[in-house]
A and B are shown apart, each in its own frame.
Chain A
Amino acid sequence: MKPIYLSFSPGRKWVGKFLSMVLLMVLMTGMAFAQQKTVTGKVSDETGVPVPGATVIVKGTTIGAVTDMDGKFSINVPAASKTLAISFIGMKPQEILIGSQSNFAVTMIAETVGIDEVVAIGYSSASRKNVASSIAKISDKDIVGLSVSDVRQTLQGKMAGVQVTSNGGDPGSGARVVIRGMGSFTNPDPLYVVDGIQGGDINSIPSQDIESITVLKDASSTAIYGTAAANGVVLITTKKGQKGNVQVQYDGSVGMASVSKRYDLLNATQYVDLVADIQKAGSLALSDKLKTADVRITRTNWQDEVFRNAMVHDQNVRIFGGGENSTYSFSAGYMNQESTVIDRNFQRATLGFKLGQSLFNKHLRLTENLRVKNDVNKGILANFNDAIRMAPYIPVLDPTNLGGYARMDKVTDLQDANNPLNSVRNSDYQSRGLNSDLELTAELDLMAGLTFKSQARISAGNYHDYTWNYPSNGGNFTKTSADMTENFNYSYSMILENFFNYNKQFGDHNISATLGNAYSPSNMYRSIAASGSNYTSTEIKNVALANSNSITGANVNSGKSRLSYFSRLGYTYKDRYVLNLSARRDASSVFGINNRWGTFYGVGFAWSVTEEEFMKSVTAISNLKLRGSYGKTGNDNISPFLTSQNIWKGDANNIVYSFGDGIPYSIGSIVNSMANPNLKWEETTQYDLGLDLGFLKNKLNFTFDYYRRDNKDLLIQTQIPLTTGLGNPGLVGTYWVNAASMKNTGFESSVSYGDDSKAIKWDVSLNATYSTNEVTALGTLGNIPISSGDYNSTGNSTRTDIGHPLASYFGYVVDHVASTQAEVTALNAQTSAKTNGEKTEYITGLKPGDFIFKDVNGDGSIDDKDRTYIGNPSPKWQYGGIFNAAYKSFDLQLQFQGIAGVNAVNGNKYWFEGMTKPFNQTTAVLRRWKKDGDVTDMPAAAQNSGTNMAFSSWYVEDGAYFRMKNITLGYTLPKTFLNSTFTKLRVYVAIQNAFTITKYSGYDPEISSQSPNDSNNYIFTRGIDQIQRPNPSTYRFGLQLNF
């Protein structure tokens, strides 16, 4: 046996090794020299990585050994011994029969829901039994099944209380995470912490490199990150090198993505008949062209023209190993995903280096991590809206038209949708983003249990994109010469954190403590945007060669800086009573000088009932832990410089006026806002009551949590009256105040069960969350509701008001479509009677064939006061689950996810079923009201469309869905087929987004918002489908190879 490696580094390896060492010493003394044989073997984890420090004991004896750094062990066992028991903290204990065999290859499986699991808690890690908080964790095996371009997507459906919504189906479009409901009016994003340091580019980590993702949900765990923790904390831990010979892991897959759903659109004849109806409604004639037989021939299926089967592939390789005092891990990834919509292509290349050294007798430990990511996006995405609206009789190509694509003419075709292929094929788009994160840490042992750690991250990024348009005529517009826009930026940011960690066991008392500070200066940033037009030649795409060009914007260093001090104290008595305290003081530059500092804290208490003597006899319950926590966290997610009066020069120095015709623009400068020097932190207080329950020796585990989060002093951009004259052009002026309050409550539950004792090994974990969101206070000015979500001039579709969920859908209620003139006349007579003749029409201009809205306020006629709450954007239920099964060499994984008790707004109906103008529509419009007496749910074509298309319950649908997120079937080649070079060969097929069950009528019920990357938009227009590109189904074939 090699010398036992001693380490002070915290974490499961250390605990494991320490215990192993103690155990070994005990064992050695008791070693008997009976009749013996030597048994050797190697312990590795599921991925083939050796497990050093695992304990191997001959069952029923005290004889045993600890594995060396290559995972190998050698034991002299008595001849009578039958079983070896292998254990390692964080992994499931195993027993194997000795028989006549003398060399064993043991594969340990990570324990997913163990009560002794080690979890990251921010600046440190702890055994779950010493934690009083609500913390959820997933490990690599729950992650690798998916091929995703955003790490966040791997979290979807995996944890109670954590909602993940993808930003759409385009590769690279990202996702957003909301933990325990919307808790902010400015930014609902949680704090991301990569390898223990705040921030960093989470998408520079391929999912294969992730060891675990931990989500801190309650205030006692998040308070250590006080500043930015109001929306929860996501801690991502990446895989590091391990001692042992060099190992190579390859994981690659190739597949095809497609969107199967299509709208059922009108054919040419049905379309032209619709246009005739629309023209008639406007007392206008059909054009001569539309009277010919030629336009009744369907020539193009525009949806098929813009959708395609997309190729995707994903390659990752990791090389790692280490010696006595150093470890290394090198990984490289490449992902290439075509969009299912022409002509976008997304490529990502990542490189990761992770080095670790131990110095001074291992008392000083250093790590150096570097991650580099390069994203390349190419091609303009086709516009669905245009694709659906195009007339079916129009061909795709027209060589006589500028640019070569057919166009529609307003005079002869009576419509002006742009040929979607024209903009795709006559334009060129490219973006490149290169990001790098360098992380350096140094940890020094000061005395037993006390360490000092200094950690820093330096992030640098470069980005460029350009859009180039060739001369073309798309229909609604003509570009007679080429033009382009270009954007460039670079950014640089850093954070430095220094802290002490203390952890010691005194008899029955375990004490842990953290004390430190964080320093995060304002980032450096510069960007410039330029545009050029009127090119003499289209040979070279360079903005400088344009005959007319200008700088359209530039930004410099607009970040914020923070200064923080933090502390934590943990105390556990006899593994039964756990007390966690944490406090943080933060200053942020975005607030006024008097309100910069905020203090945040968390308190957690837990009682492991099963550790009590009186519970020892209750064998049915293997774990019972009660938890409670309370704390306060903050949020400083607002733009900087709102506390001072700044000069407004337009977005791009474009306050312009031409005082003399033909004379260059005069440039303007002015003040247009009102500063609030008193802005301060948002405060979130949260309490959490939790219960952990384990049965059948913790094979069956339950976790329940009830939480209540109260957000107060929420930073809100209150609308101020137009008469103040403040604000940007065309917009209502706003004023930032700490005003609103919100309440999120929820009940989270999860259950897991695993059985690996039989030939078919399986485990399942399920989670479900019930949550509610309610606004409890608004701004100072008369508590004016916040209206948002205006689309296509249908009026605002969401309202945020006291007593209702944030951004509830708000509009008219459709009762039915007026069938006859007699009905309308009777209705108008009622209105006259009810209003004493003041109003003579129930709805202004109401005709048969129009929607009849409900008279909500009962005043006899319809006006904006008849709008009401007609839908909930915040899912009451969210759930998900993972099922794993293995039989012999086969393995199967199923992942599903869903939401319920939620509405979605199908905003597409305005364009696709609204019949406002001659555009192609879905076949639903064949049901349209045509003549007196028709009873239908679809109004007459183009009649009173201003009223009929106003935001109403017509757009609101059931947004619930169940999605089979992933099905993976794998086959691992038995070891006997492998030579000594290869340690593992697994092939698999996977179907991502296999199927979705929903009543939603659009392409995809997983709806983010109108523009998901804009936080304000995301908060206030959630669930409004505005031609969001659907998430595709992806079929992949993959190969995993270790050697």
Chain B
Amino acid sequence: MKRTILFSLLLSLLFVACSEKTLDVKNENRYDGSTFFTNAISFTEASTAMYTPLLYQGMYSREFYYIFDLLGNDAEKNFPLQGSLLQFPIYTHNSNSGELNYLFNSCYKMVFRTNFVIDALSKWEPTVQSDIDVKTSITGQAQFLRSLAYFWLVTCYGDVPLKENLADHYIIESSRAPAAQIWTSLETTLTAAITNLPLSYADADYGRVTKGAAVALLGKVYLYEKKYTEAAAQFALLSAAPYDYALATDVDDMFVNDVKTKETLFAVMNGPWQGWGVGNAYYMFGGQETWGGKCTVSDRAEEYGFMDWYNVLVSNALVDAFTYPNESGVSYTDPRAAKTFYAAAGTKGGDGTFCDHCPDGVLQYGDFQKEGQKAWRKYEYYENVKSYGEPESAINGQVIRYADVLLMQAEALIESNQIPAALPLINRVRARGGAFQYTTLGDQTKARSILRRERQLELAGEQSRFFDLVRWGTLVTTINAEKQAALGIQPVKDYHVLLPIPQSERDANPTLNAQVKNNWN
């Protein structure tokens, strides 16, 4: 009897002792996505996460400037350059090129995050005015950032899947939308963004998207759509109240000294490195939000810098472009050359000295670089520091600046045949750089060629030229001529006006893959 009781007790132990509650394990490392976004603080955090893709691989912390400076032939490879980056100067990039994969990937990551935020905000119904303002402003910022990502996607890839709301992201295999549909969507979204966005922010939020940035991007969209009248009208808005944009007195303020100017409409905010204890200075090699700790530097100064990794040079074509005939037909070297590149003894108008503001005094570029190569000065810190040793440049990446706006406005006017109206805009940009003032732009063809050179010189090393040449339809002829002179090759084919759809997308998305033509785009 006793034994039976004991046996029953033990048997019951087997089946009663353990509750299924054991299986309800709580996640103590991550918040629950369904309950987290409910107040202004959490939405402000969500908004930060919309901006961070600007520092991803393929974007402004590293690859973005390599890809487009090399494709646009602003930059030429130097010997230390290696890996798939070597493909860009000779146009052998392909669907497996890692940098392009990152670009495409990061743009869509930004699209997802902005759509997620817009969707979450739409479910939030704040009552306090300050909360309502947060909601409106973040919605506008999200609309702008999504548009910026789509602007890059449509200009680089043409037809791409259009994700206009959160639900679209959970459709795994999506097909390509016609580019025209994307352009239309950009107009709508940016128009909404302009309404939602504030004119400016307090210092702590200086880098957020403003109304002016959205106006400029909408103008740029019109320009790319060749809607010149609408474009010129948008750009014109930015030169009148309530906006107070102005050209910086010295471009070095933006590109060397990293100080705030009234010229910036939108920039990728790179912050100073805060040491190994806080972040990994090499985070741009894939450590973003993962192993890289907290870091927002750009490694451009290190990658391009002649006292550092020196991976690229200034292309001869760009160097030579700074010397051109003035209105009297006399060869003239544009003083903006000295702001753009270093050259031994100041040849070709380059800056012959560096460390002009270093504590140990001025150094001669020629003492360090004897091969006659021209090295990048723009986006370098060498006037202030001899070398950092680590990638730790805090110089913000300019995405839209006022000089660009003026030149785009001039272009829209020239293309609408309002050439005299374009003249003061061009001269304003030239005056700041110390270049002579044009008295006339001549006929439309002449004006067009002046404007196009202005963009090349003023926006050198700012990833503008590749997009410009494609837009003007002159990529193949222009780059082939320059490469013929430099390398004896003419590598650019007609299909190069678009980037190849990344292989990883094609592998994972059979629907889209079926729409890819000629193994390219």
Contacts and interface: CB of A to CB of B under 8 A. Distances in A.
Interface stretch (B90-98, B187-195, B243-251): B90-98
Given A483-B275, A548-B277, A657 B104 contact: no
B323 interface: no
19 contacts: A279-B79, A410-B80, A446-B6, A550-B277, A550-B293, A589-B24, A644-B32, A656-B295, A661-B396, A670-B116, A721-B173, A721-B509, A723-B163, A725-B113, A725-B169, A729-B57, A731-B105, A781-B508, A864-B503
A458 to B, nearest CB: 16
Interface residues of A, number: 110
A482 to B, nearest CB: 9
A531 B109 contact: no
Given A660-B204, A845-B90, A646 B294 contact: no
Interface in A431-448: 446-447
Nearest to A918: B79
A720 B508 contact: yes
Given A550-B277, A729-B53, A646 B27 contact: yes
Interface in B54-88: 54-58, 79-80, 82-84, 86-87
Contacts of B169: 724-726
B17 interface: yes
B512 A723 contact: yes
A757 to B, nearest CB: 51
A829 B55 CA distance: 45
Contacts of B290: 650-651, 654, 728-729
B293 A552 contact: yes
A656 B289 CA distance: 8
Contact of A646 (B30, B56, B115, B270): B30
Interface in A241-260: none
Contacts of B507: 719, 784-785, 787
A906 B58 CA distance: 30
Interface string B261-302: 000000001111011111100000010111111111000000
B138 interface: no
B23 A596 contact: yes
Interface string A643-687: 011111111101111111111011111111010000000000000
Contact of B508 (A485, A531, A558, A721): A721
Contacts of A532: 277
A96 interface: no
Interface stretch (B7-15, B328-336, B401-409): B7-15
A560 B92 contact: no
Contacts of B360: none
Contacts of A729: 52-53, 56-57, 106, 109, 286, 288-290
Nearest to B81: A282
Contacts of B122: none
A447 B7 CA distance: 10
Given A521-B22, A531-B277, A668 B94 contact: no
B173 A781 contact: yes
A630 to B, nearest CB: 27
A649 B84 CA distance: 31
Contacts of A672: 109, 112-113
Given A729-B109, A784-B508, A665 B94 contact: no
B46 interface: yes
Nearest to A557: B28
Interface stretch (A44-52, A512-520, A766-774): A512-520
A309 interface: no
Chain A residues touching B, majority SS:
loop
Pairs A-B, 6 closest by C-beta atoms: A725-B112, A658-B271, A668-B49, A668-B48, A645-B33, A533-B277
A41 interface: no
Nearest to A721: B509
B277 A480 contact: no
B465 interface: no
Interface in B14-45: 14-15, 17-18, 20, 22-34, 36, 42, 44-45
Contacts of A447: 3
A662 B508 contact: no
A655 B14 contact: no
Given A519-B22, A781-B173, A657 B205 contact: no
Contacts of A669: 31, 36, 42, 45-46, 48-49
Contact of B33 (A552, A560, A647, A728): A647
Residue among B42, B55, B108 facing the most chain A CB atoms (10 A cut-off): B108
B204 A781 contact: no
A550 B394 contact: no
Contacts of B242: none
B504 A723 contact: no
Given A500-B10, A563-B23, A648 B30 contact: yes
A452 interface: yes
A41 B86 CA distance: 83
B25 A589 contact: yes
B490 to A, nearest CB: 11
Contacts of A784: 507-508, 510
A500 B108 CA distance: 58
Contacts of B240: none
A668 B46 contact: yes
A461 to B, nearest CB: 18
B204 to A, nearest CB: 5
Contact of A732 (B11, B28, B115, B504): B504
B125 to A, nearest CB: 20
A278 B291 CA distance: 34
Contacts of A724: 108, 112, 169-170, 172, 174
A555 B14 contact: no
Contacts of B28: 556-558
A519 B14 contact: no
A917 interface: yes
B242 to A, nearest CB: 21
